[in-house]
Structure 1
Amino acid sequence: MADDTVEAQPASAPTSDSGAASSEPPKKFPKGVVLGKDGKPCRSCTSFAAWASQTKSSLKGSSSPTTATTTTTTTLPKDCPPDVEQLGRSSWTLLHSIAATYPPQPTPAEQADVARFMGLFARLYPCWVCAEDFQRYLERQPVRTGGRDELGTWLCEAHNEVNRKLNKPVFDCSRWQERWRTGWKDGSCD
Protein backbone atom coordinates (compact mmCIF):
# COMPACT_ATOMS: atom_id res chain seq x y z
CA MET A 1 0.00 0.00 0.00
CA ALA A 2 1.34 3.44 -0.95
CA ASP A 3 2.13 5.92 1.81
CA ASP A 4 -0.53 8.32 0.60
CA THR A 5 -3.45 5.89 0.65
CA VAL A 6 -5.43 4.12 3.31
CA GLU A 7 -7.58 1.08 2.88
CA ALA A 8 -11.19 1.93 3.53
CA GLN A 9 -12.94 -0.62 5.70
CA PRO A 10 -16.56 0.11 6.56
CA ALA A 11 -17.82 -1.11 9.92
CA SER A 12 -19.74 -3.98 8.35
CA ALA A 13 -19.06 -6.09 5.28
CA PRO A 14 -19.88 -4.19 2.10
CA THR A 15 -23.06 -5.26 0.42
CA SER A 16 -24.40 -4.95 -3.06
CA ASP A 17 -27.62 -3.10 -3.83
CA SER A 18 -29.45 -6.38 -3.31
CA GLY A 19 -28.09 -6.66 0.23
CA ALA A 20 -25.76 -9.62 -0.48
CA ALA A 21 -22.22 -9.47 0.87
CA SER A 22 -19.75 -8.14 -1.70
CA SER A 23 -16.60 -10.03 -2.58
CA GLU A 24 -14.94 -6.85 -3.89
CA PRO A 25 -11.71 -5.86 -2.15
CA PRO A 26 -11.90 -2.71 -0.01
CA LYS A 27 -11.30 0.53 -1.90
CA LYS A 28 -8.18 2.58 -1.21
CA PHE A 29 -8.38 6.29 -0.44
CA PRO A 30 -5.69 8.94 0.08
CA LYS A 31 -4.59 9.68 3.65
CA GLY A 32 -6.92 12.16 5.28
CA VAL A 33 -10.10 10.95 3.60
CA VAL A 34 -12.55 10.17 6.38
CA LEU A 35 -15.24 7.63 5.69
CA GLY A 36 -18.83 8.20 6.71
CA LYS A 37 -20.72 5.61 8.69
CA ASP A 38 -21.96 4.27 5.34
CA GLY A 39 -18.38 3.43 4.32
CA LYS A 40 -18.24 6.13 1.64
CA PRO A 41 -15.99 9.21 1.79
CA CYS A 42 -17.50 11.89 4.03
CA ARG A 43 -17.05 15.27 2.33
CA SER A 44 -17.87 17.27 5.46
CA CYS A 45 -15.31 15.22 7.46
CA THR A 46 -12.48 15.47 4.92
CA SER A 47 -10.26 18.36 3.90
CA PHE A 48 -10.57 19.60 0.34
CA ALA A 49 -6.93 18.67 -0.36
CA ALA A 50 -7.54 15.01 0.55
CA TRP A 51 -10.88 15.04 -1.28
CA ALA A 52 -9.28 16.51 -4.40
CA SER A 53 -6.49 13.96 -4.23
CA GLN A 54 -9.06 11.18 -3.99
CA THR A 55 -11.07 12.60 -6.89
CA LYS A 56 -7.96 13.19 -8.98
CA SER A 57 -6.75 9.62 -8.46
CA SER A 58 -10.15 8.23 -9.43
CA LEU A 59 -10.14 10.39 -12.57
CA LYS A 60 -6.69 9.13 -13.60
CA GLY A 61 -8.19 5.69 -14.11
CA SER A 62 -10.93 7.04 -16.38
CA SER A 63 -10.43 7.19 -20.13
CA SER A 64 -13.14 9.79 -20.59
CA PRO A 65 -11.96 12.72 -22.70
CA THR A 66 -13.67 15.16 -20.33
CA THR A 67 -11.36 14.17 -17.47
CA ALA A 68 -8.22 15.03 -19.40
CA THR A 69 -8.88 18.75 -18.98
CA THR A 70 -9.54 18.61 -15.24
CA THR A 71 -7.95 21.60 -13.52
CA THR A 72 -6.09 21.31 -10.26
CA THR A 73 -6.98 24.17 -7.98
CA THR A 74 -6.33 24.61 -4.30
CA THR A 75 -9.69 26.19 -3.50
CA LEU A 76 -13.22 25.15 -4.18
CA PRO A 77 -15.70 27.34 -6.03
CA LYS A 78 -17.97 29.14 -3.55
CA ASP A 79 -21.03 27.09 -4.53
CA CYS A 80 -19.55 23.68 -3.58
CA PRO A 81 -20.43 21.80 -0.40
CA PRO A 82 -18.05 22.75 2.41
CA ASP A 83 -15.09 20.61 3.35
CA VAL A 84 -14.14 20.00 6.98
CA GLU A 85 -12.02 23.16 7.27
CA GLN A 86 -14.64 25.49 5.80
CA LEU A 87 -17.36 23.85 7.86
CA GLY A 88 -15.24 24.15 11.00
CA ARG A 89 -14.39 27.83 10.47
CA SER A 90 -18.03 28.67 9.75
CA SER A 91 -19.25 26.69 12.75
CA TRP A 92 -16.79 28.32 15.14
CA THR A 93 -17.81 31.72 13.78
CA LEU A 94 -21.47 30.93 14.48
CA LEU A 95 -20.81 29.54 17.96
CA HIS A 96 -18.55 32.40 19.04
CA SER A 97 -21.06 34.91 17.65
CA ILE A 98 -23.82 33.27 19.70
CA ALA A 99 -21.65 33.57 22.81
CA ALA A 100 -20.87 37.22 21.97
CA THR A 101 -24.57 38.11 21.86
CA TYR A 102 -25.57 35.95 24.82
CA PRO A 103 -26.90 38.03 27.73
CA PRO A 104 -24.54 38.93 30.59
CA GLN A 105 -27.28 37.78 32.98
CA PRO A 106 -29.42 35.21 31.14
CA THR A 107 -32.79 34.00 32.31
CA PRO A 108 -33.18 30.34 33.27
CA ALA A 109 -34.95 29.80 29.93
CA GLU A 110 -32.02 31.34 28.00
CA GLN A 111 -29.58 29.17 29.93
CA ALA A 112 -31.61 26.05 29.13
CA ASP A 113 -31.88 27.07 25.47
CA VAL A 114 -28.14 27.53 24.95
CA ALA A 115 -27.33 24.27 26.76
CA ARG A 116 -29.92 22.43 24.66
CA PHE A 117 -28.60 24.09 21.49
CA MET A 118 -25.01 22.98 22.19
CA GLY A 119 -26.19 19.43 22.80
CA LEU A 120 -28.20 19.38 19.59
CA PHE A 121 -25.37 21.02 17.66
CA ALA A 122 -23.02 18.28 18.87
CA ARG A 123 -25.43 15.57 17.72
CA LEU A 124 -26.36 17.12 14.35
CA TYR A 125 -22.94 18.35 13.22
CA PRO A 126 -22.31 17.10 9.65
CA CYS A 127 -18.82 15.70 10.34
CA TRP A 128 -19.59 12.65 12.46
CA VAL A 129 -16.02 12.43 13.82
CA CYS A 130 -16.16 16.06 14.95
CA ALA A 131 -19.68 15.60 16.32
CA GLU A 132 -18.69 12.64 18.48
CA ASP A 133 -15.61 14.51 19.70
CA PHE A 134 -17.73 17.53 20.71
CA GLN A 135 -20.24 15.23 22.44
CA ARG A 136 -17.39 13.74 24.51
CA TYR A 137 -16.18 17.27 25.33
CA LEU A 138 -19.68 18.21 26.55
CA GLU A 139 -19.69 15.15 28.81
CA ARG A 140 -16.33 16.15 30.34
CA GLN A 141 -16.94 19.91 30.34
CA PRO A 142 -20.66 20.73 30.40
CA VAL A 143 -21.56 24.03 28.77
CA ARG A 144 -21.35 26.93 31.21
CA THR A 145 -24.42 29.09 30.77
CA GLY A 146 -24.24 31.55 33.69
CA GLY A 147 -23.58 34.57 31.49
CA ARG A 148 -21.88 35.92 28.37
CA ASP A 149 -18.34 35.81 29.74
CA GLU A 150 -18.80 32.34 31.19
CA LEU A 151 -20.20 30.94 27.93
CA GLY A 152 -17.63 32.74 25.78
CA THR A 153 -14.72 31.49 27.88
CA TRP A 154 -16.10 27.93 27.90
CA LEU A 155 -16.46 28.03 24.13
CA CYS A 156 -12.95 29.46 23.69
CA GLU A 157 -11.58 26.61 25.81
CA ALA A 158 -13.50 24.08 23.70
CA HIS A 159 -12.13 25.66 20.52
CA ASN A 160 -8.59 25.60 21.95
CA GLU A 161 -8.91 21.89 22.72
CA VAL A 162 -9.67 21.29 19.05
CA ASN A 163 -6.81 23.59 18.03
CA ARG A 164 -4.39 21.56 20.16
CA LYS A 165 -5.59 18.30 18.56
CA LEU A 166 -5.00 19.83 15.12
CA ASN A 167 -1.61 21.30 16.11
CA LYS A 168 -2.92 24.83 15.59
CA PRO A 169 -2.10 27.79 17.84
CA VAL A 170 -4.30 28.27 20.88
CA PHE A 171 -6.10 31.55 21.47
CA ASP A 172 -5.76 33.69 24.60
CA CYS A 173 -9.25 33.22 26.05
CA SER A 174 -8.96 36.42 28.08
CA ARG A 175 -9.34 38.21 24.71
CA TRP A 176 -12.36 36.32 23.35
CA GLN A 177 -14.67 39.33 23.58
CA GLU A 178 -12.26 41.49 21.57
CA ARG A 179 -12.14 38.82 18.87
CA TRP A 180 -15.84 37.98 18.71
CA ARG A 181 -17.80 40.86 20.25
CA THR A 182 -16.23 44.29 20.60
CA GLY A 183 -13.37 44.22 18.11
CA TRP A 184 -9.67 44.71 18.80
CA LYS A 185 -8.63 47.52 21.10
CA ASP A 186 -6.36 48.92 18.37
CA GLY A 187 -9.45 49.96 16.41
CA SER A 188 -8.67 47.74 13.41
CA CYS A 189 -12.26 46.46 13.38
CA ASP A 190 -13.86 49.92 13.53
Structure 2
Amino acid sequence: MSSTETEEKPPASTSPLPQFGASGRKIIYDKDGKPCRACNTLLDFQFATGKASTSKKTAAVTTPTTTTKPTLRHYAKEDPPDVGQLGKSSWTLLHSIAATYPEEPTTKQQRDMKSFLSLFAGFYPCWYCGEDFTRFLEKNEPATSSQDQLGKWLCEAHNDVNVKLGKPKFDCQFWKQRWKDGWDEE
Protein backbone atom coordinates (compact mmCIF):
# COMPACT_ATOMS: atom_id res chain seq x y z
CA MET A 1 0.00 0.00 0.00
CA SER A 2 1.65 3.10 -1.19
CA SER A 3 0.89 6.77 -1.30
CA THR A 4 0.06 9.65 -3.52
CA GLU A 5 3.59 10.90 -3.06
CA THR A 6 4.33 10.28 -6.74
CA GLU A 7 2.15 11.29 -9.62
CA GLU A 8 1.36 8.29 -11.77
CA LYS A 9 -0.39 7.88 -15.09
CA PRO A 10 -1.26 4.45 -16.39
CA PRO A 11 1.74 3.01 -18.20
CA ALA A 12 1.85 1.06 -21.40
CA SER A 13 4.00 -1.38 -19.45
CA THR A 14 3.49 -2.54 -15.88
CA SER A 15 5.80 0.01 -14.23
CA PRO A 16 4.29 3.48 -13.75
CA LEU A 17 6.33 6.48 -14.88
CA PRO A 18 6.16 9.73 -12.90
CA GLN A 19 4.15 12.55 -14.50
CA PHE A 20 4.10 16.01 -12.94
CA GLY A 21 1.31 18.42 -13.72
CA ALA A 22 1.60 22.19 -13.98
CA SER A 23 -0.27 22.55 -10.67
CA GLY A 24 2.44 20.68 -8.79
CA ARG A 25 -0.16 18.28 -7.39
CA LYS A 26 0.84 14.66 -7.56
CA ILE A 27 -1.94 12.51 -8.94
CA ILE A 28 -2.22 8.76 -9.50
CA TYR A 29 -4.33 7.76 -12.47
CA ASP A 30 -6.40 4.62 -13.03
CA LYS A 31 -5.27 2.26 -15.73
CA ASP A 32 -7.99 3.80 -17.92
CA GLY A 33 -6.28 7.21 -17.70
CA LYS A 34 -8.73 8.84 -15.29
CA PRO A 35 -7.68 10.11 -11.85
CA CYS A 36 -7.90 7.23 -9.37
CA ARG A 37 -10.48 8.06 -6.68
CA ALA A 38 -9.09 5.54 -4.21
CA CYS A 39 -5.42 6.40 -4.84
CA ASN A 40 -5.58 10.14 -4.15
CA THR A 41 -6.73 12.41 -1.38
CA LEU A 42 -10.21 13.81 -1.87
CA LEU A 43 -8.80 17.29 -2.48
CA ASP A 44 -6.27 16.06 -5.06
CA PHE A 45 -8.95 13.98 -6.79
CA GLN A 46 -11.31 16.96 -6.91
CA PHE A 47 -8.50 19.15 -8.21
CA ALA A 48 -7.61 16.66 -10.93
CA THR A 49 -11.22 16.30 -12.03
CA GLY A 50 -11.94 20.02 -11.88
CA LYS A 51 -14.32 19.63 -8.94
CA ALA A 52 -12.15 21.25 -6.26
CA SER A 53 -13.90 23.74 -4.10
CA THR A 54 -12.80 25.78 -1.14
CA SER A 55 -15.87 24.98 0.93
CA LYS A 56 -16.25 21.72 2.77
CA LYS A 57 -19.37 19.64 2.34
CA THR A 58 -21.45 19.21 5.43
CA ALA A 59 -23.46 16.14 6.21
CA ALA A 60 -27.10 16.49 5.32
CA VAL A 61 -29.38 16.04 8.26
CA THR A 62 -32.95 15.53 7.22
CA THR A 63 -36.11 14.47 8.86
CA PRO A 64 -37.63 11.34 7.35
CA THR A 65 -40.65 12.00 5.22
CA THR A 66 -43.87 10.08 5.54
CA THR A 67 -42.81 7.72 2.75
CA THR A 68 -41.44 4.36 3.79
CA LYS A 69 -38.98 4.22 0.91
CA PRO A 70 -35.63 5.88 1.65
CA THR A 71 -34.50 8.62 -0.69
CA LEU A 72 -31.09 10.17 -1.21
CA ARG A 73 -32.08 12.95 1.17
CA HIS A 74 -31.99 10.46 4.04
CA TYR A 75 -28.25 9.82 3.75
CA ALA A 76 -25.38 11.95 4.96
CA LYS A 77 -23.31 13.32 2.11
CA GLU A 78 -20.15 11.37 2.77
CA ASP A 79 -17.56 11.02 0.06
CA PRO A 80 -16.00 7.66 -0.77
CA PRO A 81 -12.80 7.04 1.19
CA ASP A 82 -9.61 8.55 -0.15
CA VAL A 83 -6.15 7.01 -0.09
CA GLY A 84 -5.45 8.16 3.49
CA GLN A 85 -8.69 6.75 4.86
CA LEU A 86 -8.25 3.50 2.93
CA GLY A 87 -4.66 3.12 4.09
CA LYS A 88 -5.42 3.71 7.76
CA SER A 89 -8.46 1.43 7.68
CA SER A 90 -6.59 -1.27 5.80
CA TRP A 91 -3.64 -1.30 8.18
CA THR A 92 -6.04 -1.37 11.12
CA LEU A 93 -7.76 -4.40 9.61
CA LEU A 94 -4.51 -6.21 8.77
CA HIS A 95 -2.92 -5.59 12.18
CA SER A 96 -6.15 -6.65 13.91
CA ILE A 97 -6.19 -9.87 11.89
CA ALA A 98 -2.60 -10.56 12.97
CA ALA A 99 -3.58 -9.91 16.60
CA THR A 100 -6.27 -12.60 16.39
CA TYR A 101 -4.29 -15.01 14.21
CA PRO A 102 -3.60 -18.31 16.02
CA GLU A 103 -0.45 -18.56 18.12
CA GLU A 104 0.18 -21.93 16.46
CA PRO A 105 -1.68 -21.92 13.13
CA THR A 106 -2.32 -25.07 11.16
CA THR A 107 -0.68 -25.56 7.80
CA LYS A 108 -4.02 -24.70 6.19
CA GLN A 109 -4.34 -21.47 8.20
CA GLN A 110 -0.81 -20.47 7.15
CA ARG A 111 -1.59 -21.19 3.51
CA ASP A 112 -4.92 -19.35 3.74
CA MET A 113 -3.25 -16.28 5.28
CA LYS A 114 -0.73 -16.10 2.44
CA SER A 115 -3.57 -16.43 -0.05
CA PHE A 116 -5.58 -13.75 1.76
CA LEU A 117 -2.68 -11.28 1.67
CA SER A 118 -2.17 -11.91 -2.05
CA LEU A 119 -5.89 -11.54 -2.78
CA PHE A 120 -6.08 -8.44 -0.59
CA ALA A 121 -3.30 -6.82 -2.64
CA GLY A 122 -4.96 -7.86 -5.90
CA PHE A 123 -8.35 -6.38 -5.01
CA TYR A 124 -7.13 -3.30 -3.15
CA PRO A 125 -9.17 -0.27 -4.30
CA CYS A 126 -6.04 1.78 -5.15
CA TRP A 127 -4.41 -0.20 -7.96
CA TYR A 128 -1.07 1.55 -7.42
CA CYS A 129 -1.04 0.71 -3.71
CA GLY A 130 -2.13 -2.86 -4.44
CA GLU A 131 0.67 -3.36 -6.96
CA ASP A 132 3.14 -1.89 -4.47
CA PHE A 133 1.97 -4.37 -1.82
CA THR A 134 2.18 -7.20 -4.37
CA ARG A 135 5.81 -6.27 -5.07
CA PHE A 136 6.48 -6.29 -1.32
CA LEU A 137 4.90 -9.75 -1.05
CA GLU A 138 7.07 -11.05 -3.89
CA LYS A 139 10.25 -9.82 -2.19
CA ASN A 140 9.19 -10.67 1.38
CA GLU A 141 7.22 -13.88 1.77
CA PRO A 142 4.63 -13.48 4.53
CA ALA A 143 5.77 -15.04 7.80
CA THR A 144 2.73 -17.03 8.88
CA SER A 145 4.09 -19.77 11.16
CA SER A 146 2.95 -17.95 14.32
CA GLN A 147 0.94 -14.96 15.47
CA ASP A 148 4.10 -13.13 16.52
CA GLN A 149 5.80 -13.74 13.18
CA LEU A 150 2.78 -12.52 11.22
CA GLY A 151 2.42 -9.46 13.46
CA LYS A 152 6.08 -8.52 13.01
CA TRP A 153 5.95 -9.22 9.26
CA LEU A 154 2.92 -6.92 8.86
CA CYS A 155 4.65 -4.29 10.98
CA GLU A 156 7.64 -4.41 8.62
CA ALA A 157 5.32 -4.20 5.60
CA HIS A 158 3.65 -1.16 7.17
CA ASN A 159 7.06 0.37 7.91
CA ASP A 160 8.01 -0.11 4.25
CA VAL A 161 5.09 2.15 3.35
CA ASN A 162 5.85 4.58 6.19
CA VAL A 163 9.35 5.10 4.77
CA LYS A 164 7.89 5.83 1.32
CA LEU A 165 5.53 8.37 2.89
CA GLY A 166 8.27 10.02 4.92
CA LYS A 167 6.67 8.87 8.16
CA PRO A 168 8.58 7.46 11.13
CA LYS A 169 9.00 3.71 11.41
CA PHE A 170 7.22 1.88 14.23
CA ASP A 171 9.37 -0.30 16.50
CA CYS A 172 8.00 -3.75 15.62
CA GLN A 173 8.95 -5.24 18.99
CA PHE A 174 5.90 -3.34 20.31
CA TRP A 175 3.39 -4.62 17.76
CA LYS A 176 1.43 -6.62 20.35
CA GLN A 177 1.07 -3.65 22.69
CA ARG A 178 -0.24 -1.54 19.82
CA TRP A 179 -2.56 -4.07 18.16
CA LYS A 180 -3.33 -6.84 20.62
CA ASP A 181 -2.75 -6.32 24.35
CA GLY A 182 -2.76 -2.54 24.69
CA TRP A 183 -0.24 -0.39 26.47
CA ASP A 184 0.55 -0.87 30.16
CA GLU A 185 -0.23 2.07 32.42
CA GLU A 186 3.01 3.75 33.46
Q: TM-score range by the shorter chain?
A: 0.7 to 0.9
Q: Could you tell me how far apart the structure 2 residues matched to 1:109 and 1:136 are?
A: 24
Q: Could you tell me how far apart the structure 2 residues matched to 1:8 and 1:88 are?
A: 18
Q: Could you tell me how far apart the structure 2 residues matched to 1:41 and 1:29 are?
A: 15
Cα deviations by residue, 1:134-184 (Å, 9 ceiling, x for unpaired): 011001101000110000000000000000000011101000001000111
The 3 A distance-change label for structure 1 pair 139 and 8 is: closer
SS in structure 1 of the partner of residue 170 of structure 2: coil
Contact 1:8-1:28 within 8 A present in 2 as well = no
Alignment-mate amino acid for residue 132 of structure 1: E
Aligned counterpart for 2:38 among listed residues 31, 41, 44: 44
Aligned to 2:56: 73
- Report the CA distance between 1:37 and its aligned residue: 0.3
Cα deviations by residue, 1:86-122 (Å, 9 ceiling, x for unpaired): 0000000000000000011001111111010001011
Aligned to 2:138: 139
- Report the CA distance between 1:33 and its aligned residue: 2.0
**Per chain length, whose mean CA-contact separation is higher, i.e. which structure has more relative contact order (CA < 8 Å, sep 6+)?**
2
Alignment of 1:86-165 (within 5 A): 86-165=85-164
CA-atom RMSD, angstroms? 2.9
Q: Could you tell me how far apart the structure 2 residues matched to 1:151 and 1:75 are?
A: 40
SS in structure 2 of the partner of residue 44 of structure 1: coil
Judge which range, 178-187 or 89-98, deviates more: 178-187
- Report the CA distance between 1:78 and its aligned residue: 7.1
Judge which range, 45-54 or 143-152, deviates more: 45-54
Which ranges of structure 1 fall in alignment gaps of 5 or more residues?
1-6, 13-26, 61-69
The 3 A distance-change label for structure 1 pair 109 and 29 is: farther
Q: Could you tell me how far apart the structure 2 residues matched to 1:179 and 1:123 are?
A: 27
The 3 A distance-change label for structure 1 pair 74 and 157 is: farther
Contact 1:33-1:46 within 8 A present in 2 as well = yes
TM-score by length of 2: 0.75
Aligned counterpart for 1:35 among listed residues 29, 33, 50: 29
Identity of aligned residues (%): 51
Contact 2:121-2:130 within 8 A present in 1 as well = yes
Alignment-mate amino acid for residue 81 of structure 1: P
Aligned residues: 157
Cα deviations by residue, 1:11-33 (Å, 9 ceiling, x for unpaired): 47xxxxxxxxxxxxxx9776122
- Report the CA distance between 1:50 and its aligned residue: 1.2
Aligned to 1:67: none
Q: Could you tell me how far apart the structure 1 residues matched to 2:58 and 2:27 are?
A: 17
Q: Could you tell me how far apart the structure 2 residues matched to 1:94 and 1:128 are?
A: 18
Aligned to 1:16: none
Which ranges of structure 2 fall in alignment gaps of 5 or more residues?
1-6, 13-20, 60-75
Alignment-mate amino acid for residue 51 of structure 1: F
